[in-house]
Structure 1
Amino acid sequence: MIIGLDVGGTHTDAVLIGAEGMVRDIKVNTDPERLYETVMSALDRLLAGQEVADVKRVVLSTTLATNMVVQDKLPPVAMVVSAGPGIDPEHFRVGSHYFRVKGALDHSGRELEPVREKEIHALGAELKKLGLPAVGVVSKFSVRNAAHELAIARILESYVDKIFMGHLCSGALSFPRRIATTYLNAAVYPVHTNFFTAVHSSLAKKGISHPIRILKPDGGNMNMSSSLTYPAQTILSGPSASVMGAIAHAPKDKTCLVLDIGGTTTDMAIILNGAPVIAQNGIEIGSYKTLIRALLTKSIGIGGDSVVRVREGKLAIGPDRGGAAMAHGGPQPTPTDAMCVLGMIEQGDRDKAAAGLAVISAELGLAVIEAAEQILHTACENIMRAADEMVDQINSRPVYTVHEMCEGVKIRPDYLLVLGGPAGQFAGRLAEMFKGEVEIVPNWRVANAIGCALARTTCEVTVYADTARRVITAQGEEYHREISRTFTLDDARKVAFELVRKKAAARGANEEHLKMEVLEESQFNMIRRFSTVGKNIRVRAQVKPGLIHGYDAESGTLNRADL
């Protein structure tokens, strides 16, 4: 059997799937301050009366990191940046503890200016005084030569607890995006470590010893232990679970807009002809443009439990969540209270919900029922406006899915898939605003946990070959070896696939069912003094995201051999 567990900011959803299909699904409240108890509660209910020995696979996703970024609640961490000549890295500042240091490499990885050890020691002493939990280190061309990042990290390791280096976060060239990516790795590390500890302890207590996997934002998964090195890979793992939960139900001849409406956020994505659209250059979340390859999703701070306020005579919903709805004993009015007042849900205290909305209705000069209608309408209107903005953003550049580039395609959603706890209540109102068919995904309350459970293990590798220097590297994989001057693009592909296969196996993939592909490749001649001195070759390869081998979408069952 397989366990899928999605730890959201409001609820934790869990499913148990066997060869016969869904065995059990449950939903419990998430307490971010007591994650161990939250996960144990979910597992107790999920596994009651089941043979724990039959559980062969556990896959998790979480919106905890996503919610931190969306709500601008990232803890303080340090960033140390070595740039050299060119654009001032101050333009790429992230966080309140951002330090530029000496040292520079050129575009091919040759040293122009060395790292100054005394400067780094002095900076380390300052970081120690600040007591920051983690630090990110980025050198401009570290994907070509990681020596400067490694030198800075070696000095700083005696002053700080945890260091993240840019060349390990991504093998792609983009200095600003690598800074943002490294920063997010450092910033979400504390909450992700707490999450990992809570989950690991909970499963161990249940007697489940199989390696735990966590969903990545590209719709695949990796061993959870690996995620401690790349914690930013958990950002948008919750939204990608939503896409994977919806993908089996997306018509192959439609352009589907996916909306996962939770308690804290609404996550949205596009599925084009059965394949999710991907953020080719890296995700953008909040104000951060990153190198994290991911399904192209958007998260906004609107959910069933978002705080409702009146600002300058107009309704404002979210982006924060102050707790449960007032109908459930919470402190502030929410869309859930509006649905309770309107009789759309049976759970909760309608009188408490109405009392909470009375303040809102008085400020708007409306009856409580009218205010409730306006709250729900505004929430749906804001969600659809954000979806339109996402579609416009996709259409402003070439469209990529997880399988191919769709040249000349313009996205125009004509099918809406809705999932998440309040999907049943929101779907009807959204249908009034959407030009196309609207469907609530089967098992909509826990569809994200189903997508999480069934996601394939994926990974990506980028290799660079410089035949003039006679070297090939894949910095994120700590791979470096000499090559001949006759090394070719085909040779680079073979190296990339070899590294992808090795990396996927280390992350828990079934090597018999790997589906690998080249994402992009390039080569150009290097000229010095009017003569060709060698070639610069780049290949990026991946294991394709998708659902695990043996899953039958129509019946919802699994081939027993794949459990």
Structure 2
Amino acid sequence: MQTVLGIDTGGTYTDAVLLEQKTKKVLKKAKSPTTRDNLAVGIGKSIRGLCLDPADTIEKVVLSTTLATNAIVEGEGRPTGLIIIGELPKGELPDAHRAQVKGKVNIKGKEVIPLDTAQVIEACAAIAPQVQAFAVSGMMSVRNASQELAVKDIIKKQCALPVVCGHELSSQLGFHDRTVTTVLNASLIPILEDFIRAVEVTLADQSIDAPVYMVKGDGNLASLSFIREKPIESILSGPAASIIGALSLAGCGDGVVVDMGGTTTDSGIVLDNTLTLAPIGARVGDWQTQIDSAQINTCGLGGDTQIIAVDGHPTLTGRRVLPACRGGRDGLTPTDLLHYTGDFEGWDRELVVGAVDAQTDKAPDAYVDEAAAQILETIRTEVLSLYEAHPVPIIAIGAPAKTWYEKIHEETGCTVIVPEHYEVANAVGAAMAAVEERVTALVRPDEENDGYVAHVAGQCRSFKDKAEAVDFVKQETEARAAAAAKAQGAPDISVQVFCDDIVEKIGWRERYIETRVKAVAKATTLKLKMQEEKDERRP
């Protein structure tokens, strides 16, 4: 039997499922506490919990994780060097050892100030001993990446550290957000590399010899070699996998998907099997990036969210703690309340009774009821507004979800689906994810040379004829999208190329602005909505 092994490493649990590849049936499932100091330990325990049969042929292993997201939010990225070509972007940037060198490319992709290579060599020598990776960013590099690539080449000749350029991560305008994305990506490279190596060792210990992939924040698959270079693509990987898993388990094409984990509740809307992307890219913590991701609403309510007494009343702090039922001493959690009421039996209820007594002088039952009401009110505030805007079923997944959302159904009458295997839906989604790659390009007028300029993948090429320029970028985007999808391991690929002329109306006339070309190579039924590029100088 051919199977897929799906693994989701969350903040509280690491889940594993064995999925039959042809029928998408969940054959086995297991959970194990996430071991933050060594994630591979938790992964190993969850895999062993499946009691795999040697007769099962594992075709691939797919991971989803919150590792990159948590590292950004908690400020745990590794020391990074940033070399900025030309003027500084407007706005705050993540911490980095920074240097500024001369050079400039204009909006038409023309080099107007040559790169000062001597400054690059000097900056690299000064910064390299203090960092674990380099980021390179220059304004308008998406129109002409030659200066960024020249800086990258110099750094690689000077040291053995990984280097990432802004144009390699995003083709969108928006110098500040692209620079933020580049710095964060560089800071994550050593972290994800350690994680990937640990996973590979764990799989080898389990005698699992199959290609390994990771779910990106937009719900699509990426090879580990891709993630090693672009780990920032894995931000919001877990929530994206949860949406895919929830839809499959519920058998729905429409729904408000709610994933209640140990730390947060993530929710997103899917209509007509269409996963909407965040309008301008994923926002993580204080940072806006240019990385495609599912549009996710997140609130600080999970099974391990701390509940303390404030002026005698139970209050959610948004902080994740070890539940009292598992020996925690930092207050109560929603998981503890379920132990107290008998809705869930996993650990020690007597420890919860003691924690309730320590937190209040009120009657324990009344205090627990008040705390439960706070949780339900938070759910109503954060989730039911989505349901009211789009009255489609609420699909509730995640280990704590069943009890709380059944209570929401009882109180409000709204349609709630808690599908079978709801507690491991993230791992199911990981196992079911597929490949989709997108490449975009532009053709714009070149007034200086009375022709047209094609911009694709950091290239800048001139043409006399518009049709010739458009044909060139259509062929380039199609080839690049197909190559990227094949590199991610997609066996059967279909490529579609979309072309859109942008014009400006001036009275009764129209003025040609540009042609936007997008190629989509995919082996998936999940459709993704894209957003228009934003202005390069937007802070």
Whether the 8 Å CA contact 2:138–2:148 is kept in 1: the answer is: yes
- Separation in 1, partners of 2:267, 2:53: 36
> Equivalent residue of 2:229, what SS?
coil
Q: Report how far residue 228 of structure 1 moved.
A: 0.6
Question: Corresponding residue for 2:484?
Answer: 503
- Aligned residue number for residue 558 of structure 1: none
**Paired position in structure 2 for 1:207:** 207
**1:241 paired residue number:** 241
Residues of 2 paired with 1:435 and 1:191: CA distance?
A: 45
Q: What code does the residue aligned with 2:28 have? A: R
Counterpart of 2:480 in structure 1: which amino acid? L
Aligned-pair distance for 1:214?
Answer: 0.8
Match of 2:347 in 1: 348
Task: Return the alpha-carbon distance in structure 2 between the equivalents of residues 152 and 491 of structure 1.
Answer: 28
Task: Report the equivalent of 1:369.
Answer: 365
Distance change >3 Å, CA 320–CA 517, structure 1 → 2 = farther
Determine helix, strand or coil for the equivalent of 1:487. Answer: helix
In the superposition, relative to structure 1, how do residues 321 and 160 fare at CA in structure 2: closer, same or farther (>3 Å)? farther
User: Relative to 1, partners in 2 of residues 1:174 and 1:145: Cα closer, same or farther, differing over 3 Å?
Assistant: same
- What residue number does 1:428 align with? 406
Maintained 8 Å contact 2:77/2:191: no
Q: CA deviation at 1:435?
A: 6.5
2:439 aligned with 1:461:
yes
Q: Which moved more, 1:487-496 or 1:106-115?
A: 487-496
Q: CA deviation at 1:6?
A: 0.9
Letter in 1 for 2:39: L
Matched letter for residue 8 of structure 2: D
| 2:8 is aligned with 1:6 | yes
Check conservation: 1:76, 1:132, Cα contact below 8 A: yes
Q: What is the deviation of 1:26?
A: 0.8
Contact 2:18 2:27 in 1 (8 A): yes
Aligned AA for 1:140? M
Amino acid at match of 1:154: D
Match of 1:296 in 2: 295
Residue in structure 1 matched with residue 17 of structure 2 by the alignment: 15
Give the equivalent residue in structure 2 for 1:552. Answer: none
C-alpha distance after superposition, 1:360-401 (max 9, x if no partner): 335xxx433333333333234334434468x59xxxxxxxxx
Query: SS where residue 38 of structure 2 aligns?
Result: helix
For residues 465-487 of structure 1, give each alpha carbon's deviation from its aligned partner in whole angstroms, at most 9, with x where no partner exists: 467477645327xx777766341
What TM-score, normalized to structure 2? 0.85
- How far off its partner does 1:199 sit? 1.2
Answering whether residue 477 of structure 2 is matched by residue 475 of structure 1, we say: no
Alignment partners' CA distance in 2, 1:503 and 1:343: 51
Measured after TM superposition, the shift of residue 58 of structure 1 is 1.4
In the TM superposition, what whole-angstrom CA distance separates every residue of 1:155-198 from its partner, at most 9, and x where no partner exists?
Answer: 33435722221010011222222122212212322321122111
Q: Distance in 1 between matches of 2:228 and 2:382?
A: 32
Q: Which amino acid aligns with 1:438?
A: V
CA contact (8 A) 1:414 1:435 kept: no
Once residues 359 and 112 of structure 1 are traced to their aligned partners in structure 2, the CA distance between those partners, rounded to angstroms, is: 69
Shift of 1:208: 2.8
Matched-pair contact (CA < 8 Å) for 2:68–2:234? yes
Q: Distance in 2 between matches of 1:278 and 1:422?
A: 26
| 1:139 Cα offset (Å) | 0.7
- Give 1:327's match in structure 2, choosing from 325, 328, 339: 325
CA distance in 2, matches of 1:165, 1:17: 37
> Deviation string for 1:409-464 (max 9, x for gaps)?
x9424321100111112212333666621111221011111111111111111223
Q: 1:145 to 1:434 in 2, by over 3 A?
A: farther
Residue matched to 1:279: 278
Q: How does 1:207-226 map to 2 (within 5 A)?
A: 207-226=207-226
1:180 to 1:250, Cα distance in 2 relative to 1, 3 A: farther
Structure 2, unpaired ranges of 5+: 505-510, 527-539
CA drift of 1:266 comes to: 1.7
The amino acid that maps onto 1:543 is: A
CA contact (8 A) 1:337 1:357 kept: no
Q: Distance in 1 between matches of 2:316 and 2:429?
A: 28
For residue 49 of structure 1, the aligned residue among 46, 53, 58 is 53
- Write the letter of the residue equivalent to 1:274: N
| Structure 1 position 207, deviation (Å) | 3.0
Native 8 Å contact 1:339 1:372 kept in 2? no
Q: Distance in 2 between matches of 1:311 and 1:482?
A: 67
Instruction: Give the aligned residue type for 1:169.
Output: L
| Contact 1:267 1:299 (8 Å CA) reproduced | yes
The change in CA–CA distance for 1:520 and 1:47 in structure 2 (over 3 A counts) is farther
Q: Structure 1's 175 and 247: CA in aligned 2 closer, same or farther, altered over 3 A?
A: same
Name which of 13, 31, 35 aligns with 2:35.
31
Q: How many residues align?
A: 509
Residues 143/337 of structure 1: CA separation in 2 closer, same or farther (3 Å cut): same
CA RMSD of aligned residues (A): 3.1
CA spacing shift, 1:411–1:275, aligned 2, 3 Å: farther
Moved more, 59-68 or 448-457: 59-68
The CA distance in 2 between the partners of 1:369 and 1:507, in whole Å, is 54
Q: Does residue 58 of the first structure (1) align with residue 61 of the second (2)?
A: yes
Contact 1:414–1:436 (CA<8 Å) still a contact in 2? no
**Aligned-partner Cα distance in 2 for 1:51–1:318:** 48
Matches within 5 A, 1:482-561: 485=465, 486-511=467-492, 514-518=493-497, 521-522=500-501, 536-543=514-521, 546=524
Residues 55/249 of structure 1: CA separation in 2 closer, same or farther (3 Å cut): closer
Deviations 1:268-324 (A, max 9, x none): 1111133222224312222222211122113333211123334677655354323x3
8 A Cα contact 2:499 2:515, kept in partner: no
User: Retained in 2: the 8 A contact 1:132–1:160?
Assistant: no
Whichever residue aligns with residue 112 of structure 1, its letter is V
| DSSP-derived class of the 2:345 partner | coil
Q: Note the C-alpha offset of 1:508.
A: 0.5
Q: Distance in 2 between the 1:314 and 1:137 partners? A: 51
Cα distance, 1:376–1:112 mapped onto 2, change above 3 Å: farther
CA distance in 2, matches of 1:411, 1:544: 31
> 1:259 deviation in Å?
0.8
Q: Aligned residue for 2:429? A: 451
CA distance in 1: counterparts of 2:381 and 2:96, whole angstroms: 32
- AA aligned to 1:423 is A
CA contact (8 A) 1:135 1:162 kept: yes
